[in-house]
Structure 1
Amino acid sequence: MSNLHLPVKGFVVLLVLLLAEGVLAREMSPDRPNVLWITCEDISPYLGSYGFVQAHTPNLDRLAKRSIRYTQAYANAPVCAVARSTILSGMYASSIGTHQMRSKVPLPEEIPVYPKLLRDAGYYCTNNSKKDYNSPYNDDAELWDESSNTAHYKNRRSDQPFFAVFNLTVTHESQLSESRIRHYVENNLIPEKPRIDPRDIELPPYHPDLPEIREDWARLHDLITLMDRQVGELLDELEEAGLADNTVVFFYSDHGGQLSRSKRYIYNGGTQVPLLIHLPDKWKQLSSVPAGAVDASLVSFVDLAPTLLSITGCEIPDNMQGRAFLGDKAEKSPDFVHFIRDRMGERYDFSRAITDGRYYYIRNFMPHRPLGRDSRYGYQVQANWRAYEAAYEAGKTNEIQSQFYERKPLEQFFDTENDPWQVNNVVEQPASKARVKSLSKELDRWMVETRDVGLIPEPMVHELIGAGKKYRTLHAFAQSSDYPIQKILEAAKSATAGSSENLLAYLTDKNPIIRYWGAYGTFLHPDQRNSLQRQLKTIVDKDEFAANRIMAAQALAVVGDPDTAFEAIMREAHAADNGYVLLQALHAFQYSHTDDRLSLDHWKAFKDKEFESGDPGSDLGYPQRIIEDAIALFPKRRKVY
């Protein structure tokens, strides 16, 4: 029988087989590059190739000579897990709900993640070994072919392209602790005395000139040199395996850092990263920029996943928010990079920022929270933090250095060409007004377009979404009409700016998120707000959401009724059924200055509080940080602002 007369069923089967054969042939094609991602932790571009004269990074400098060196590369968030969630998904953490550190929010199935897409395309994908994706993907056994401290591309089939990640952790902030430095010295990994004499360190202007700060800077450079050695070993291994000619190599840091006022903070010191990409001759057509050259176009972490998919010949999902900057799907460089800062540890905060590469605008939605009073983790592991705080408390810091421990401005604007350390806020200067207005408008547009969920207080998130609720994920809620983001953003901006004529309307709005911002605005600007006590008490007594009741109580304390406020916050702390609500209640005691009424027994009772294992935030360790700190200080109190 002629093939022209095959039964329809047989024809379909044959067609499927032929298509499958074609797909398999494409997947196994040798004309696809391998990709090696080498990531380090917590460093800004402190490399010799970036002009940092005190660096000793010979392997990375050699790599830079045959790579594209990106001078405007940024993490969209200045902390590891939040930044990594964006790398994984090609989406802003503030769009998918991974913007709060260690939040573990559920993600919808339609959120793309590049390892699965690469595996579907036939790549052997390995991760060695840090995950830290701030999402359930931390526990997804199907995400990688291998993910462990022994995961390696050598375990693939011989005809299979690979994508391999090696995470180098020696520059993580924890490694500057006295015990870790001693470990590295005793194992001959770094010199007994710092390579750079601490007296020769060029300090940034925001750091006071203290021995502990100089020593930590010098030791950081020792760790960077150690990391550079590890990079060299990975590159040598690739060469010895005969794979270098067909492997694209990326090197970058997971965000900036790592001493005080860098990691976790939304300045260049926390967001700008080194990024080197080596394209072997076989794949030099993936970029119009030649090897050894500088690319000053704007690149951020939201672009990494689309770029990876572009250079490997994969389709880029429509819901990825970044753009490919290499390969046949490369797009024009954006005009701006956008940044987020939310809860970076045990303190809630909310800032957004934008840069065009030179001018850098920051909007602080919670200006009452000083940056230096944020996470206590740095103080535990690094001497420079402790010395910095002690100098400030003793009145030994100048105006620039003191900014870190004082109330934030509502807006900040920097010309990074003339002020690379971002210490001179020129937002009020007449010459800045046009650019401030333009960047502020663009930031608003981006927040609305990307459905920024940072406007929602974290404890409320877990009352709005979850199993059995109308919305299972925060991303789904944010796309709905129940999240009128334009109206909410306007309320948040107005309330924080102190627009008193709108506060009553916000406090009585039907939308719970707007009520929250009304209460916060009342707390932030308490002068002549006694007239709002009745509305605040109504929220304290009757609001459906714990986040609103707590914030209204916090406001009530500063507008004239601290007794009612303390009782209300205590009630919420005892009733809290998840870690996020307890965390907000602990904050409220401290920011309302009613924590002076807490006894040691109160703090110990908070410490003993337990949640059901299935409750949101049941394993959130951050409330314990505040509680243990308070117990250790008692009867003194932690200064938070």
Structure 2
Amino acid sequence: MNSIKLISLAALATSLMPSWAAQKQNKPNIIFVISDDHSVPFLGCYGNKDIKTPNFDKFASEGMTFTRTYVTAPQSAPSRSSFFTGRSTISTTMSMFSLPLPGNVITYPDILKEHGYYIGVTARSHHQDGLKRNKDIQQAIERNDMATFGRRFDYHRIGGQPLPELKVFLDKAATEGKGKPFYVQVSFYDPHRPWDKNAIPEPHDPNTINLPDNYPDNALIREDFARHYDEIARMDTQFGLMMEELEKRGLADNTIVVFVGDNGSALLRGKGTLYETGINVPLIVRWPGKIKPGSYSNVLVSGEDFAPTLLELAGYKADPKMTGHSFAHTLLGKAGTDRTWVFSARGAHAEDLPVTTKDFDLIRAIVTDRYKLIYNPVRELPYWPVDFSHEPFWLDLVEQNRTGFIPREWKERYFSERPMFELYDLKNDPQELHNLAGLKEYAEIEKKLRDTMAEKMLVDRDYVPLPFYSLDKEYK
């Protein structure tokens, strides 16, 4: 008799459970996976037939692959800040690179936590608490109590490899989270330089891979490129094991998994630049039963867009200060308004002096469905690559340039002063080799892009002079 009463009371309690609690139990988990320095098209599912990525290719067959995702900055720290905040790097003061994310800037994990999510960040650094490798800078940050990002999370552990770190987080979510839905960002170290010559048991053959059309071709460059593919292949193996772990734990069906690159690969005209290799990154999203398997989308996506999108998928509103556009309708196959342009900006890199573009630049870019405008306010700064200026293939190019034995197109591309503006027709010139800026037949397009860029810079309170000049006069 007593047991019957207890059961009835339990049933009654369940029936009277507040609606928010019932909804919370059905909320999707979210795993946000980031590769470090990784451009389109360096996965098999993007049509690259040379690279060994069976697990990412399988993942793509189970979700939606985006071809035109652009980060807000061609460097890790500022780009990742936009992932979190749904805002540009300029508006949140994160373009300096060394700065921590201000404590009063709302992130989407903050909002998820307010609604009952157990939230975490793990593996490779999130880069949101300032530069760690410079002792003096770090001490200044600590003295002023600026490193507050880690305090936002229920679980915050930086270091270690993604697969074991994900396992630890999932254990914590099950015990400390006590049945709450969870969110976690897991970041890979791959394929960040330096590239390991022994990354995988069967390395890619430098002699058989196809280099991009705009790339110099020699043995040193081929060797370097093959090692890049090896690191992506190593990441592919680990990613596959991470997805298997979700299956083993029975979490796969109700978990949104996002895979995205934080910025472009450290290649020529890649990381640190606003060319396609610098800011166009892979994006694949899987949510079984919700996102059509094996689907592709060519809609424009910005690094600002992840915050409002994931909040919408979880059933919550974005913070009013978030400037990103949700692409949840695209993921769910519903009608909606797509972006018509994306914006990207470059600032300081690490803590070195502004001697070359390796350490500092102020380039801005607007990308539409067809065109890209790049604005080079400090065009006099010589191009110097981020993260590979010591590599043999680059030193060889430098020596060729010094001795005058470099092909003219390579000299113009890597060793000549940049123009103030660059305009590219990405449909007819995807390698961005033919600058159309200043040509009368493209004057209307150029003006529209400059106006769009200027408005974005105004809204974000950018500190760089606005991109205006007279189209009928030569700018100097």
Q: TM-score, normalised by structure 2?
A: 0.82
- Residue 341 of structure 2 is aligned to residue 336 of structure 1: yes
Matches for 1:205-604 after TM superposition, within 5 Å = 205-281=213-289, 283-284=290-291, 290-326=292-328, 332-345=337-350, 346=352, 347=354, 348-372=360-384, 375=386, 377-380=387-390, 382-402=391-411, 403-453=413-463, 455=464, 489=466
Asked if structure 2 preserves the Cα contact closer than 8 Å seen for 1:47 and 1:60, the reply is yes
3-state SS of paired residue (1:199): coil
3-state SS of paired residue (1:70): strand
Assess, with a 3 A threshold, how the Cα gap between structure 1 residues 326 and 82 changes in structure 2: closer, same or farther: same
Structure 1 stretch displaced more, 426-435 or 259-268: 426-435
Which among 98, 102, 106 is matched to residue 98 of structure 2? 102
Find the aligned partners of 2:212 and 2:109 in 1 and give their Cα distance: 39
Counterpart in 2 of 1:82?
78
Find the aligned partners of 2:402 and 2:200 in 1 and give their Cα distance: 33
Shift of residue 206, structure 1, vs aligned partner: 4.1
Task: Output the amino acid matched with 2:348.
Answer: R
Which among 108, 112, 116 is matched to residue 118 of structure 1? 112
Assess, with a 3 A threshold, how the Cα gap between structure 1 residues 108 and 127 changes in structure 2: closer, same or farther: closer
Find the aligned partners of 1:270 and 1:56 in 2 and give their Cα distance: 22
3-state SS of paired residue (1:59): helix
Assess, with a 3 A threshold, how the Cα gap between structure 1 residues 78 and 52 changes in structure 2: closer, same or farther: same
Shift of residue 315, structure 1, vs aligned partner: 2.3
Find the aligned partners of 1:72 and 1:140 in 2 and give their Cα distance: 29
Matches for 1:29-44 after TM superposition, within 5 Å = 29-44=24-39
Asked if structure 2 preserves the Cα contact closer than 8 Å seen for 1:75 and 1:254, the reply is yes
- C-alpha offsets along residues 187-227 of structure 1, whole Å, 9 cap, x if unaligned? xx4136x322x122322344332322110101111111111
Asked if structure 2 preserves the Cα contact closer than 8 Å seen for 1:86 and 1:92, the reply is yes
- Structure number with higher helix proportion: 1
Asked if structure 2 preserves the Cα contact closer than 8 Å seen for 1:153 and 1:164, the reply is no
3-state SS of paired residue (1:35): strand
Find the aligned partners of 2:336 and 2:392 in 1 and give their Cα distance: 44
Q: TM-score, normalised by structure 1?
A: 0.62
Task: Output the amino acid matched with 1:489.
Answer: L
Task: Output the amino acid matched with 1:370.
Answer: P
Find the aligned partners of 1:422 and 1:292 in 2 and give their Cα distance: 29
Counterpart in 2 of 1:53?
49
3-state SS of paired residue (1:173): coil
Is the radius of gyration larger for structure 1 or structure 2?
1
How many residues were matched structurally?
421
Find the aligned partners of 1:172 and 1:218 in 2 and give their Cα distance: 14
Matches for 1:95-174 after TM superposition, within 5 Å = 95-104=91-100, 107=102, 109=104, 111-129=105-123, 130-133=125-128, 139-148=148-157, 149=160, 150=165, 151-156=168-173, 157-174=177-194
Asked if structure 1 preserves the Cα contact closer than 8 Å seen for 2:371 and 2:424, the reply is yes
Find the aligned partners of 1:400 and 1:363 in 2 and give their Cα distance: 21
Asked if structure 1 preserves the Cα contact closer than 8 Å seen for 2:76 and 2:127, the reply is yes
Assess, with a 3 A threshold, how the Cα gap between structure 1 residues 115 and 330 changes in structure 2: closer, same or farther: farther
Asked if structure 2 preserves the Cα contact closer than 8 Å seen for 1:207 and 1:388, the reply is no
Task: Output the amino acid matched with 1:95.
Answer: S
Asked if structure 2 preserves the Cα contact closer than 8 Å seen for 1:124 and 1:161, the reply is yes
Assess, with a 3 A threshold, how the Cα gap between structure 1 residues 394 and 316 changes in structure 2: closer, same or farther: same
- Structure number with higher strand proportion: 2
Assess, with a 3 A threshold, how the Cα gap between structure 1 residues 363 and 140 changes in structure 2: closer, same or farther: closer
Instruction: List alignment gaps of at least 5 residues for structure 2.
Output: 1-16, 131-140, 355-359
- C-alpha offsets along residues 94-122 of structure 1, whole Å, 9 cap, x if unaligned? 11211122234x7362x211222211111
Find the aligned partners of 2:443 and 2:427 in 1 and give their Cα distance: 18
Asked if structure 1 preserves the Cα contact closer than 8 Å seen for 2:108 and 2:318, the reply is no
Assess, with a 3 A threshold, how the Cα gap between structure 1 residues 368 and 244 changes in structure 2: closer, same or farther: same
- C-alpha offsets along residues 217-256 of structure 1, whole Å, 9 cap, x if unaligned? 0111111111111110100000010111111111111111
Counterpart in 2 of 1:625?
none
Q: Which has the higher contact order (CA 8 A, sep 6+)?
A: 2
3-state SS of paired residue (2:90): helix
3-state SS of paired residue (1:274): strand
3-state SS of paired residue (1:125): strand
- C-alpha offsets along residues 161-196 of structure 1, whole Å, 9 cap, x if unaligned? 11122211121123x2xxx42xxx2xxx4136x322
Kindly, what percent of the aligned residue pairs are identical? Answer: 28
Find the aligned partners of 2:322 and 2:79 in 1 and give their Cα distance: 15
Find the aligned partners of 1:144 and 1:408 in 2 and give their Cα distance: 43
- C-alpha offsets along residues 352-398 of structure 1, whole Å, 9 cap, x if unaligned? 111113211111111111222x65x4223x33332332232232332
Assess, with a 3 A threshold, how the Cα gap between structure 1 residues 220 and 316 changes in structure 2: closer, same or farther: same
Shift of residue 23, structure 1, vs aligned partner: 7.4
- C-alpha offsets along residues 235-290 of structure 1, whole Å, 9 cap, x if unaligned? 00000101111111111111111223201111111000110011211x34xxxxx3
Asked if structure 1 preserves the Cα contact closer than 8 Å seen for 2:55 and 2:236, the reply is yes
Asked if structure 2 preserves the Cα contact closer than 8 Å seen for 1:365 and 1:493, the reply is no
3-state SS of paired residue (2:234): helix
Asked if structure 2 preserves the Cα contact closer than 8 Å seen for 1:89 and 1:112, the reply is yes
Asked if structure 2 preserves the Cα contact closer than 8 Å seen for 1:132 and 1:138, the reply is no
Find the aligned partners of 2:335 and 2:320 in 1 and give their Cα distance: 14
3-state SS of paired residue (1:72): strand
Shift of residue 349, structure 1, vs aligned partner: 1.9
Task: Output the amino acid matched with 1:36.
Answer: I
